[in-house]
Amino acid sequence: MDSDELKTWQARRIHRALFPGFNYLGRLRKRMEKAGFPADDRFLQLVCAAHDAAYALYVHVHYLSCESGAGRAGKK
C-alpha cells in the first residue's frame, strides 16, 4: 500500500487527528520565541524542526484528502 491508495475519508481522518499536535507545536514555538529563547537554543531548534515537519505532513495529508485528487501521483 502507498499513500495513493488511501481513501479520501481516511486522509481526512488522519488530517483531523494531526491537528492537535501540530497546533500545540505552533503555540509552543510562539511562546518560546516570545519568551526570548535564543535562536541557537537546541530545544527551540528542535521545536521549530518538529513544527515545520508537522506542517509539511499536515499539508500533504490535506491534499490527499481533496476530492479532486490533488496530491496524488496518479491523478490530475
Residue 74's pLDDT is 58
pLDDT per residue as tens digits for the range 1-55: 888 888 999 999 999 999 999 999 999 999 999 999 999 999 999 999 999 999 9
| pTM (2 d.p.) | 0.83
Domain borders along the chain are 3-64
DSSP conformational letter for 69: -
Look at residue 3 in the predicted model and tell me its pLDDT: 85
Cα 2 to Cα 5, 9, 64, 73, distances in angstroms? 6, 15, 12, 11
Got the DSSP string for 1-68? Answer: --GGGS-HHHHHHHHHHHHHHHHHHHHHHHHHHHHT--TT-HHHHHHHHHHHHHHHHHHHHHHHT-TT
Neighbours of 8 (CB within 10 A): 14
Q: Is the pLDDT of residue 73 over 80?
A: no
